[in-house]
């Protein structure tokens, strides 16, 4: 096992603990982190893992100790991680996962143990099962609504869908269908593929045969490039739309000319420099990008890193409030942290303005989305 000493102690391979080295007289706040650092959604977990290294050593005068585990994009592994967090590590908070299936799995453990979960994926949960789960990304409903609006503005009347055959893909299909119906648009083809598939030839042929005005691709990382290339190779000439899991620098690097003119909604952090000065997230996003790139290199940040930094900004406000009610390491502190998140009002984060309530654990409004187009190797605000 190899350890690299800096402000934190990092230990590999599958699990490593990040802990401030300096001793403290205060009770520490223990945070369990489960990210998809390997497996089909590994591209979603690396930048958030890096972002954890940028967190401060303490908040509210209490030291933070992070226990970071890899769930390998696997729901069973995510449950194992979460159960370790609550039973062995006695965590005060869970952050994760960055992929939808493992994040959903963690939510059950969070509810059972009354431990706040800051989910790094936009997961939908049945009523009564999300009492302790707060989402860091925008909700799929919010982004699907904006995507359909952008399609209608572009003159689209028929839509083809090709997306993941998991909870993320199905949620997008459900919400897109709902908003498309209201807007008078029609879905004429809906095809699915697994995150670890290496070909979508059959699905692409069926979508092309339906000849939709636009195709919505619901995937992330390299998984989002593959369907787009497959459609182009089979002669599709219509518009392409990607979701906010793909509208990022990685899609441009991997897709090259094949993703030119692709449209999609994303949060403010993807193109923060193009936000109007009046947007509340502009300074926060630009400050975070500068901080992240100073440590990990120019162009290395993405929206998943920005979502995780949102957790830091939430905790800056919530932890001091919770500490007024109880000490870390207790059920009372976990409940106080939940109450603080639900009652503390607006928090400006890189992706918009979060305002959680007891009935809304998504917290974002329309300020958390804007339409972008891939142009000459960068994401540009659509007009």
Summarize the chain as % helix, strand, coil (round to 5): 40, 20, 35
CB atoms within 10 A of CB 211: 13
Give how far the C-alpha of residue 299 lies from the chain's centroid of Cα atoms, to the nearest Å: 18
Residue 383's pLDDT is 66
Query: What are the chain's domains?
Result: 3-138+285-368 (3.40.50.2300), 140-266 (3.40.50.2300)
Residue 299's pLDDT is 85
Buried b (16+ CB within 10 A) or exposed e, 126-157: eeeebbbbbbbbbbbbbbbbbbbbbbeeeebe
For the stretch 2-27, pLDDT in tens is 343 334 444 444 444 444 433 333 47
For the stretch 152-167, pLDDT in tens is 999 999 999 999 999 9
Residues in CB range of 122: below 8 A, 6 or more apart: 100, 135, 137, 138, 139, 140, 143, 168, 171, 362
How many Cα atoms sit within 13 Å of 253 on the Cβ side?
8
pTM: 0.87
For the stretch 72-88, pLDDT in tens is 999 999 999 999 999 99
């Amino acid at each position: 096992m190899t350890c690299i000493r800096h402000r934190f102690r990092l230990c590999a391979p599958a699990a490593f603990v990040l802990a401030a080295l300096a001793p403290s007289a205060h009770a520490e706040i223990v945070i369990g982190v489960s990210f998809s650092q390997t497996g089909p959604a590994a591209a979603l977990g690396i930048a958030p893992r890096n972002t954890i290294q940028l967190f401060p050593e303490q908040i509210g005068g209490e030291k933070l100790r992070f226990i970071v585990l890899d769930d390998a994009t696997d729901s069973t592994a995510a449950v194992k991680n979460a159960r370790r967090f609550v039973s062995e590590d006695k965590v005060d908070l869970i952050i994760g996962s960055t992929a939808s299936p493992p994040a959903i799995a963690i939510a059950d453990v969070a509810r059972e143990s009354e431990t706040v979960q800051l989910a790094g994926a936009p997961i939908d949960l049945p009523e009564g099962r999300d009492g302790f789960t707060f989402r860091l990304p925008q909700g799929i409903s919010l982004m699907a609504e904006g995507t359909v609006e952008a399609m209608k503005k572009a003159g689209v009347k028929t839509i083809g869908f090709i997306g993941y055959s998991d909870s993320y893909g199905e949620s997008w299909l459900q919400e897109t269908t709902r908003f498309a119906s209201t807007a008078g648009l029609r879905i004429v083809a809906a095809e699915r593929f697994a995150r670890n598939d290496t070909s979508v030839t059959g699905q692409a042929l069926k979508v092309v045969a339906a000849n939709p005005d636009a195709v919505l691709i619901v995937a992330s990382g390299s998984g989002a490039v593959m369907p787009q290339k497959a459609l182009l190779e089979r002669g599709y000439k219509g518009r392409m739309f990607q979701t906010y899991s793909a509208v990022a620098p990685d899609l441009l690097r991997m897709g090259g000319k094949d993703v030119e003119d692709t449209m999609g909604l994303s949060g403010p952090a993807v193109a923060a420099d193009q936000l109007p000065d009046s947007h509340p997230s502009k300074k926060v996003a630009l400050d975070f990008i500068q901080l992240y790139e100073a440590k990990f290199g120019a162009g290395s940040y993405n929206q998943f890193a920005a979502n995780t930094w949102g957790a830091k900004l939430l905790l800056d406000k919530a932890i001091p409030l919770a500490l007024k009610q109880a000490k870390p390491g207790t059920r009372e502190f976990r409940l106080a942290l939940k109450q603080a998140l639900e009652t503390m009002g607006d928090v400006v984060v890189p992706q918009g303005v979060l305002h959680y309530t007891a009935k809304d654990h998504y917290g974002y409004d329309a300020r958390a989305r804007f339409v972008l187009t891939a142009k000459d190797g960068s994401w540009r605000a659509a007009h």
